[in-house]
Every structure is written in C-alpha cells, then in structure tokens.
Amino acid sequence: MKAIQILDQLKFPVELKDKIKFKLDNGFFLEVKNNVDIKTPLHYLFDLNKDSNHKNIIKIGNNSKLIFIDENISEDKELDYTCELEVILGENSELYYLNLNNFSDKVKSVFLSKCVIEKDSKLKCFSGHLGSGILSSKREIILNGEGSDGKNIEIVFGNKEQIFNISSNLIHKVPNTKGNVLVKNVLKDNSKMDFNGLIRIEKGAQKSDSLLQDHSILLSKNARANAIPSLEIEANDVRCTHSASSGQVDEDQIFYLMSRGLDINEAEKFIVMGFLQPILEDLNVKEVKEKIIKIIENKWNN
Amino acid sequence: MEEILQINKGYEEKYGFKDDVESTIKTQKGLNEDVIKEISKYKKEPSWMIEFRLKAYGIFKSKPMPQWGANLNEINFDEIIYYASPSDKKSNSWEDVPEYVKKTFDKLGIPEAERKFLGGVGAQYDSEVIYHNLRKDLEEQGVIFTDMDTAVQKYPDLVKKYFGKIIPMGDNKFAALNSAAWSGGSFIYVPPNIDVKVPLQAYFRINTKNFGQFERTLIIADKGSKVHYIEGCTAPIYSSDSLHAAVVEIVALEGSNVRYTTIQNWSPNVYNLVTKRAFAYKNATVEWVDGNLGSKITMKYPSVFMMEEGAKANILSVAFAGKGQHQDAGAKAIHLAPNTTSTITSKSICKDGGRTSYRGLLQVAKGSTKVKANVTCDALILDEISRSDTYPTMKIHEQDSSITHEANVGKVGEDQLFYLMCRGLSKAEAMSMIILGFIEQFTKELPMDYAIELNRLIQLEMEGSVG
C-alpha cells in the first residue's frame, strides 16, 4: 500500500476531499473529521529552503484513524528551522505519526511537539533523528482520557559532528492509561547526544502502566551520550519502570560474525542494525523503514 | 516478629526526649565572623584553621540557596545556634561524662553496643564530642580514632594533607557552611595493612533547640587496610527546625576497604543536608550503606570518585518517608580511571504523604575504559497521597564501558498480602513482613544489633498505615 502524497487540498483523491482538511500556511493544518478511517498512509514531504518558523497542527475527530508520514528534507546550506507541532486526538481514535528528519548537516533544527489524547484513543509517535547538524527535539504526550494509550519511539543515528538533544515527557493525568517511551541511539565519530526523559503520574491516576527506556551504543572514542530518565509518581497503584543502558558493540558478537566471513565494518553494522531492528520492524510502514535503512547505510559509509 | 510488632512507643518516647539543661558554652543566634572567631578561639585552633573558616564563610554567604531539589527556603540561618557545648572537657571513660548526657546515651543504648560489638565509640552531643574510646588492641596497632578537634591539635600533618581536599569548601552552600562552623565529628586513621575487624561507631545527638550541628568526619584508610564505621543520629522533637549539615571525607588508599554505614533517624524537625564523598585509589573499595529514616528534609548523595585503576564503589541506600518528610537521597559514582566498577542500589518506601526521591549521577570520564556500572532503584508507594521520584543522570563519555540502569515503582503486591494473611497473619503483620523482605538486602549488611534497630524503626514507622 503506497502512501498518498499530499501537498495541498486540491491534489487529494476525490474520495478523501470531504473527510480531510489540509492547508499550508507557515506549517500545515490537518484535520480528520469524525468517523473517518483512512487506510492508506498520508505522506507529507517538506523541503526546507529558507530559514523558517513553522506551526503544524494535526486534529483528529472521534472514532477516526490516520497514519501520517511527516518527512523533512532540506537544501545543503546553512539554515535554521523551528517547528511546533500540536496534536489533538479525539475519543476512540488512532493516530500513527511518523517523523523522518533527514535535513542536511548544515541545518540547525528545533522541534517542539505537544500531543493531547482523549478517552480510549491511541497515539503512536515515531521520530527518526538522522539529519541536522544540531537538533533539539522535545515531545510531550498528555494522556488526558481514561483508556488512552500513548507511545513515543525515537531513534537517533549520529555521525561526524552532529549534536542531538532529545526530551520526551509522558504525563498520566487520569486513571487506566498506558504509556511507553523508547529511545535508541547509535553514535559514531564525534557525535553527541543528551536524553531527558520524564514519566509523570499525577495524583489519582491509578492503574497507570508506564515504561521509559533509553539505550545507547557508542561506536567511537569521541562519541558521548548523557541520559536522565526520570520518574515522578504521585499515585500508588501503578506500574512504572524505566531502564537505561550504554555500551559498545559486544566484542564476542563481532568475533563471531568475523569468523563467519564478515569484515569488522560489516560485522559492526550488522550488530547496530540488529539493535535498531525491533523498532524498524515495528514501524509497519514499509517505505519509511526502507528509507531509514538507506539513510543509515549512507551515513555508515561516509 | 511478635515483639517487634508490639512496639507502640514511637519516636517521641524512644528518641524524642530532651534534656532540660543549659549548655555550658553557647554562642548567640546567627552566624557572623565574630561567632566563627569565638568558636575557633574556644577550640584554641591554629591560625590556618581560622583562615579556612573565614574563607569558607565568605563562600557560604555568596552562594545562593540551591533550588533544584527539596524546598529549603524555610531555613532561617539567623535563628540557628551554631555552637553549643555541654561540657568543657572530653573524656574517655563514662564516669567523667556529665550525668544528663550519660543518661541520654544510656537510653540510646550506646554503652551497651560498645561492650557488645564495637571496637571504638565516639559520642557527640550538640557541638562537641563528649566521649571517645578505642579498644586498647586497636590503639596499639596504631589505629587513630578520635574527634576532629583533637586531631587538628594532635595530628596536624595528616589533617592538613586531607582536610577539605576531598570536599572543597566551595563544593556547595552547605559544605561551605560546615567548613565555616564545623565542630566535632570523627577522625580515623588506619595504618597500612591493619584490618579493623570490629566496627567503629559514632553517635550524634542534637539536644539544643534551633540548633545547627556541623560535624566533620575524615577517614583515612592507608594501603591495604580495612575499616567499618557506623554513625547513628537522633534528636528531640521540637516545633522549630534544626539543621544538620555534616561533611564526611574518606580517603581510601591503594588496596584498602572502607565501609561507612549511616542510620539516620533525626526527629521530623531536622533539616539533614550532608555532603559525603570518598576518593578510592588503586584497587580500593568504598562502600556506603545509607539508611535515611528520620528528618524533615534530607538531601544526601554519598559519592565515590574512583581515581585509579581497579577502584570499586558499592552504594546501598534505603529511604523511608512518612508524614511531612521528604527524603531526597541518592548516590554518585564517578569513574575517572579504567577498570573501575560501581554498583548503586536504592530502595525507598513512602507513606502518609511522604515523598522519596532518588537523585543519582553516574559519570564515566573519557579514557576510563572497561568500566562496569549498574544502578538499580526500587520504590514502594504505600498510599495515594505519597509521592516517589527518580532522577538518575548518566554521563557516559567513554565508548568502552558497560552501563545499565533499572528502576521499579510499585505497591505492595495484593497477592503476597493475601498469601500471608491466608496463613494467619494480620494485614499489618503481613505488610511489615513484605516490607522487611523488600529491604532485606540493606539490613543484611548491618551488624546484628543495628539490623534489629533498623527493622524496629521500620516497624515503628509502619504502625497505623494499614488496618
């Protein structure tokens, strides 16, 4: 199932025209009305060519479903980009939002996103932080209705002089909510990253179930990773865990692969791809997965 | 178990009593240069120490109140009495200790503990250490165990070499305050290859109202030596707040092994803001065993700097926060050399609106290859109004290291409770048993008598939480 490219309302397939509103004006505004189930992913390709400051809004009504791919590319020159994203998810709806950042290394970018999920709705966010020289991303998911489920998955693949600053907050406001934050980082060369994660379970948000994970692989002497996976819990009947780790590729595994005929570079790549594999498998959108693998391969070889 | 569950006395009776005796020597409220000079003059200190104190006072004044952790804004530094002494002489036999002080420590069971299983005891009452004794055989082996003030007079070379070097006076606001107003604390020196098989202990007691206790402890373990030091703290319950800002410095030289155990059980009107740090040199092991049961607010993060290859850090911390308490405790492991290992284990329990926070730092400096580090923190929240936070920071600047962190927050398992109650235990008994199991790792690490005391205290705090 190939995604539908969207640039503006006019080019939409006829059958979607009454169901979706899409407008571009310093960012995009996307609205999916009530009771709309769009099976085909929508793909929005944004090409940055001048300093920009955008505000994006995604609004999903009740009982609706959408898969949205937000791909960012840029010209190869020094540019600044800030983007504020607001996601409002009605009751009993589902949104799968995929963001693929593939800006040039000369771009400095800042992403701020805030997502509010209502009763019985499901949100899954994915971010692939691959491009930008300096990238700062802060995402906040607020579980505002009972039975809501928020998932935030991010991968960072840094090389050369790239610097990443990733924040992810998940806030359980009401009882019976589910949350999951998973961040996996691979850092090569002189790349550096900071991760700041927080799960907050507010007073009265009983039966919350939440998980926060941050795992890094450092591939060079000069790569650095800092992590603060925090928890603030004000309710007692909850399940809330976090874990974090940092390490290099396992020498035994490398040895094993090399004894099977791979050279060291290939063996390392094999293990790194294996580290990211569970996330990539879970993407369910083939073209995004393929794109990410291609970009990582490119970055690996340079 | 039955006997422990019978304890209904509570803190007030057991530790919360006060002696209505005016201190022999007492400074006015508040801190200024004159007060510092007065303390120093009374102690007949050398000039370098007076300069040290005055410089630290300048730093204390210039540093803002830290805002990143627990709320400390209610501390009024001008209302605090910075020095009070019950007696003008120190003794090494109980007979010479003033009667009321003796009674206090008798009640707390210190002489009994000394007879039973300790190699040496120091007892500090407000500002001064009033009793100090070390077993003869240890003394003959060259072990030094005395109060800090005596050490400044008697062992100036050792003191000058390490005092304020592990924790510089400008490290934080409260380290600066301690450096300016310090009084009492222990000084321990263990000569090379001496194994002090029995623990040494110091007991800290605040009696004066609105008091600030600033003890200063320095432990030097020479090459290949081994020592275990235990501190215990209690205070009477007053309506106004007291302040306890200690500085503890440990130097673990090559191949030595130091364990420092704290059983902190201040009354709920004490701010406990302590800086504890150890330098571990080649193949040395430093273990902090830190139990925080009392106080109004505790902010304490025992840390180990692994300076040379093969150094090891073991930090075990248990915190209990009841009504009105905030235990902001944690640990820091800083790897500055290759092949160093650290383990941080933190367990906390909160109830009745108490708040426990784990705040930790794990740092691996560049070049510290083959580092292994593991952090585990578990928290139990016993009711809806309590709160638990976890703020673990990891700074990994070396690729060749293996770091893991895991945490769990949960409540006492309904299944476990049900199982125990099926076997005839009351709900309170079952709850206590589960909690004790949960912190078993901690109590196992303590000498027998103190394990019981700690267990009892946990039982005590548990009282009334269920049923």
- pLDDT-derived band at B329 (thresholds 50, 70, 90) equals very high
Residues A230, B399: C-beta atoms closer than 8 Å: no
Q: Which residue of A has its CA nearest to B383?
A: A236
**Average predicted confidence (pLDDT) for chain A:** 91
Residues A244, B402: C-beta atoms closer than 8 Å: no
All residues of chain A having their beta carbon less than 8 Å from the beta carbon of residue B386 are 234, 236
- pLDDT-derived band at B440 (thresholds 50, 70, 90) equals low
Mean pLDDT of A41-46: 90
Query: Mind listing the pLDDT tens digit for each residue in B185-227?
Result: 999 999 999 999 888 888 888 888 888 999 999 999 999 999 9
Nearest to B399 among A219, A232, A236 (CB): A219
Nearest to A247 among B366, B393, B401 (CB): B401
Residue A112: what pLDDT?
96
- CA dist B340 and B371 (Å) reads 5
B286 near B253, Cβ under 8 Å? no
Is the model's pLDDT at A59 over the cut of 90? yes
Residue B220: what pLDDT?
96
All residues of chain A having their beta carbon less than 8 Å from the beta carbon of residue B385 are 203
A140 near A172, Cβ under 8 Å? no
CA-CA distances (angstroms) from residue A163 to A25, A192, B435? Answer: 30, 5, 44
Q: Does A252 touch chain B (CB under 8 A)?
A: no
Is the model's pLDDT at B119 over the cut of 60? yes
Buried b (16+ CB within 10 A) or exposed e, A185-216: bbbbbbbbbbbbbbbbbeeebbebbbbbbbbb
CA-CA distances (angstroms) from residue A214 to A11, A172, B324, B467? Answer: 40, 19, 33, 40
Residue A1: what pLDDT?
57
Query: Mind listing the pLDDT tens digit for each residue in B332-342?
Result: 999 999 999 99
Q: ∠ CA(A67), CA(A98), CA(A183), 5° rounding?
A: 135
Which is it for strands B303-306 and B341-350: parallel, antiparallel or unpaired? unpaired
- pLDDT-derived band at B448 (thresholds 50, 70, 90) equals very low
Helix locations, B311-426, DSSP H:
414-422
Q: Does A260 touch chain B (CB under 8 A)?
A: no
Instruction: Say whether the ipTM exceeds 0.90.
Output: no
Mean pLDDT of B17-30: 78
Task: Specify the DSSP element, H or E, that contains A240.
Answer: strand A239-247
Q: Does B408 touch chain A (CB under 8 A)?
A: yes
- CA dist A250 and A248 (Å) reads 6
Is the model's pLDDT at B1 over the cut of 60? no
Nearest to B384 among A230, A236, A245 (CB): A236
Q: Does B397 touch chain A (CB under 8 A)?
A: yes
- pLDDT-derived band at B441 (thresholds 50, 70, 90) equals low
B200 near B228, Cβ under 8 Å? yes
The residues with which B332 forms a beta bridge, in sequence order, are B303, B361
A154 near A138, Cβ under 8 Å? no
CA-CA distances (angstroms) from residue B196 to B9, B14, B192, B253? Answer: 36, 31, 11, 15
Residue B231: what pLDDT?
86
Residue B3: what pLDDT?
37
A92 near A117, Cβ under 8 Å? no
Reading the block at residue B91, the tokens are 């003794």
Kindly state the DSSP code that residue A21 receives in the 8-state scheme: E
Interface of A with B in 10-69 (CB under 8 A): none
Select from A128, A77, A161 the least CA-distant residue to A291: A128
Mean pLDDT of A174-180: 95
Size of interface A-B (CB pairs under 8 A): 105
- CA dist A99 and A73 (Å) reads 11
Interface of B with A in 167-226 (CB under 8 A): none
pLDDT cut 90: percent of chain A above it: 67
Per mean pLDDT, which of A94-108, B82-96, B111-125 is the most reliable?
Answer: A94-108
Reading the block at residue B332, the tokens are 């820091």
Select from B210, B167, B220, B235 the least CA-distant residue to B76: B210
Interface of B with A in 365-384 (CB under 8 A): 366, 379, 381-384
Residue B274: what pLDDT?
95
Q: Does B467 touch chain A (CB under 8 A)?
A: no
Residue B409: what pLDDT?
57
Kindly state the DSSP code that residue B400 receives in the 8-state scheme: S
How many other CB atoms are found less than 10 A from the CB of residue B425?
A: 17
Buried b (16+ CB within 10 A) or exposed e, B218-255: bbbbbbbbbbbbbbbbbbbbbeebbbbbbbbbbbbbbb
Residues A224, B397: C-beta atoms closer than 8 Å: yes
- pLDDT-derived band at B446 (thresholds 50, 70, 90) equals low
Residues A228, B402: C-beta atoms closer than 8 Å: no
- CA dist B385 and B367 (Å) reads 45
Query: Mind listing the pLDDT tens digit for each residue in B283-299?
Result: 999 999 888 888 899 99
B29 near B78, Cβ under 8 Å? yes
Query: Mind listing the pLDDT tens digit for each residue in B270-326?
Result: 999 999 999 999 999 999 988 888 889 999 999 999 999 999 998 888 888 888 899
How many other CB atoms are found less than 10 A from the CB of residue A248?
A: 20
Select from B265, B306, B266 the least CA-distant residue to B287: B306
Kindly state the DSSP code that residue B211 receives in the 8-state scheme: B
- CA dist A201 and A179 (Å) reads 10
Query: Mind listing the pLDDT tens digit for each residue in A138-154?
Result: 999 999 999 999 999 99
Residues A246, B394: C-beta atoms closer than 8 Å: yes
> How large is the angle between the packed helices A264-282 and A286-301, nearest 10 degrees?
160
Mean pLDDT of B61-81: 91
All residues of chain A having their beta carbon less than 8 Å from the beta carbon of residue B379 are 233
Residues B402, A247: C-beta atoms closer than 8 Å: yes
Helix (H, G, I), strand (E, B) or coil at B267: coil
Which of B409, B412, B414, B465 is the best substitution to test chain A (most A C-beta atoms within 10 A)? B409
Reading the block at residue A120, the tokens are 């019985």
Reading the block at residue B322, the tokens are 């009841």
Kindly state the DSSP code that residue B386 receives in the 8-state scheme: -
Instruction: Please report the beta strands in A149-223, taking only residues with DSSP state E, as ranges in sequence order.
Output: 149-158, 163-172, 178-187, 192-201, 209-218
A195 near A183, Cβ under 8 Å? yes
A70 near A98, Cβ under 8 Å? yes
How many other CB atoms are found less than 10 A from the CB of residue B144?
A: 18
Q: Does A241 touch chain B (CB under 8 A)?
A: yes
Query: Mind listing the pLDDT tens digit for each residue in B136-181?
Result: 888 899 999 998 999 999 999 999 999 999 999 999 999 999 999 9
- pLDDT-derived band at B375 (thresholds 50, 70, 90) equals confident
Is the model's pLDDT at B125 over the cut of 60? yes
Query: Mind listing the pLDDT tens digit for each residue in A75-117?
Result: 999 999 999 999 999 999 999 999 999 999 999 999 999 999 9
Is the model's pLDDT at B437 over the cut of 80? no
Nearest to B389 among A219, A233, A245 (CB): A233
Residue B158: what pLDDT?
92
Nearest to B403 among A230, A238, A245 (CB): A245
Q: Which residue has 């005596």 as its token pair? A: B150
Q: Does A207 touch chain B (CB under 8 A)?
A: no
Is the model's pLDDT at B55 over the cut of 80? yes
Fill in the amino acid letter for A244. Answer: A
Mean pLDDT of B26-36: 89
A186 near A215, Cβ under 8 Å? no
Instruction: Please report the beta strands in A25-121, taking only residues with DSSP state E, as ranges in sequence order.
Output: 28-32, 42-48, 52-60, 65-74, 79-89, 94-102, 107-117
Helix (H, G, I), strand (E, B) or coil at A209: strand
Q: Which residue has 């607001």 as its token pair? A: A86
Residue B9: what pLDDT?
41
Handedness of CA B458, B460, B466, B467 (dihedral sign): positive
Select from B141, B185, B169 the least CA-distant residue to B63: B169
Q: Does B92 touch chain A (CB under 8 A)?
A: no
Residue B4: what pLDDT?
31
Alpha carbon of A154: minimum distance to chain B alpha carbons (Å): 19
Q: Does B392 touch chain A (CB under 8 A)?
A: yes
Higher pLDDT, B405 or A169: A169
Cα atoms in the Cβ-side hemisphere of radius 13 Å centred on B200: 30
Residue B461: what pLDDT?
45
Residues A246, B401: C-beta atoms closer than 8 Å: yes
Q: Which residue of B has its CA nearest to A246?
A: B403
Per mean pLDDT, which of B46-55, B257-266, B403-412 is the most reliable?
Answer: B46-55
Is the model's pLDDT at B348 over the cut of 90? no
Reading the block at residue B433, the tokens are 């048993």
A162 near A104, Cβ under 8 Å? no
Residue A241: what pLDDT?
84
Nearest to A226 among B387, B395, B402 (CB): B395
B229 near B186, Cβ under 8 Å? yes
- CA dist B387 and B377 (Å) reads 15
pLDDT cut 90: percent of chain B above it: 40
Residues A236, B379: C-beta atoms closer than 8 Å: no
**Average predicted confidence (pLDDT) for chain B:** 83
Mean pLDDT of A191-197: 94
Nearest to B387 among A233, A239, A246 (CB): A233
B157, with CB counted inside 10 A (0-12, 13-18, 19+), is exposed
